[in-house]
Amino acid sequence: MGFLTGKRALIFGVASNRSIAWGIAKAMHREGAELAFTYMGERLHERVEKLAGECDSDIVIPCDVENDEQIEAVFDHLDDFWDRLDIIVHCVAFAPKEMLEGDYLDNISREGFNTAHEISSYSLAAIAKAGRHMMQESKDAAIITMSYLGAVRAFPGYNVMGLAKASLEANVRYLAHSLGPEGIRVNAISAGPIKTLSAKGISGFNRILEHVEQSAPLHRNVTIDEVGNTAAFLCSSLASGITGEIIYVDGGYHTAGLMGTEDKSLSQKPG
């Protein structure tokens, strides 16, 4: 019997079979959870319906997280199928493309800042607020979101998304305190770089992947399945004592300082 047997999970952020949300969906399905999905924009409707089918789910609901009515409508719709909700998976982020290249200060604008923060951080609170009544019916409910090391370190090109992820991580801590008394846990996974649609077109992404291979303790990049397994654990009763936490699934990259550099006198990498 899987460790999520009997749990009901709502997943935001599947855009393709490379999405981190899809890695999470597969792991949760394997562990026995019942799934529902949201998708952003009609263009993705059919694809998400097909992927949902692979997890034996036929609950597929449209949701642009910029829109409060659409968020409310998701839970109104879900109410027709389920009497409670145990898990919310938030795998959503967006900043205008032109903010994710070049110099941070040259390219930041008030509008770009607001968009990045609204979609990538505020949406977590908006979804928690709208879904709270359904999660209150659960015995051990959990919310999980996705962060990146750019929240706490400056990375070339990550720019305004770094600020939005810093806000998202603080959001996790404050939500954990708001919802803890109701038995609802809130955590984030800070994942290493993975080639998803959100990484497509990011200049130098292959070099970033190579750099992680060189310097992370595991000397490789992580997969959506590894992130999925950690998410499944964090949303299960196995993690009943964990909330407000940021768990790194990055092959240990964030622990490195000057490791795997070209200059062998500065590196201990074997070979």
| Residues engaged in binding ligand IMJ (CB under 6 A) | 93-95, 97, 100, 148, 155, 157-158, 161, 193, 198-199, 202, 208
* 61 binding ligand NAD? (CB under 6 A): no
Nearest approach in angstroms of CB 16 to ligand NAD is: 6
H or E, element range at 52:
helix 45-54
Is 130 in a helix, a strand, or coil?
helix
Sheet holding 141-147, edge to edge: 60-62, 34-39, 8-12, 87-90, 141-147, 184-191, 246-249
Candidate ranges 96-104, 134-142, 173-181, 186-194; the one touching ligand NAD (CB under 6 A) = 186-194
**What token pair was written down for 72?**
């409310």
Distance CA 48, CA 59 (A): 10
Nearest approach in angstroms of CB 202 to ligand IMJ is: 4
Convert residues 144-163 into a mask of x (bound to ligand NAD by CB under 6 A) and - (unbound). --x-x---------------
As to burial, measured by CB atoms within 10 angstroms (0-12 exposed, 13-18 middle, 19+ buried), residue 23 is buried
Tell me which of ligand NAD, ligand IMJ, none is bound by residue 65, counting a contact when its beta carbon lies within the kind-specific cut-off of 5 to 8 angstroms.
Answer: ligand NAD
Candidate ranges 102-110, 179-187, 196-204, 230-238; the one touching ligand NAD (CB under 6 A) = 196-204
C-alpha torsion sign, points 263, 269, 270, 271: negative
Do residues 49 and 103 lie in contact, with contact meaning Cβ atoms separated by under 8 Å?
A: no
* 25 binding ligand NAD? (CB under 6 A): no
Concerning whether 148 is annotated as a catalytic residue, the answer is yes
Concerning whether 253 is annotated as a catalytic residue, the answer is no
Is 103 in a helix, a strand, or coil?
coil
Distance CA 7, CA 86 (A): 6
Nearest approach in angstroms of CB 198 to ligand IMJ is: 4
* 82 binding ligand NAD? (CB under 6 A): no
* 256 binding ligand NAD? (CB under 6 A): no
Distance CA 118, CA 66 (A): 7
One-letter identity of residue 248: Y
Cβ proximity to ligand IMJ: between 54 and 210 the closer is 210
Which of 40, 89, 99, 144 forms a contact with ligand NAD (CB under 6 A)?
A: 40
Q: Give the active site residues.
A: 148, 158
State the residues that interact with ligand NAD by CB under 6 A. 13-16, 19-21, 40, 63-66, 91-94, 119, 146, 148, 191, 193-194, 196-199
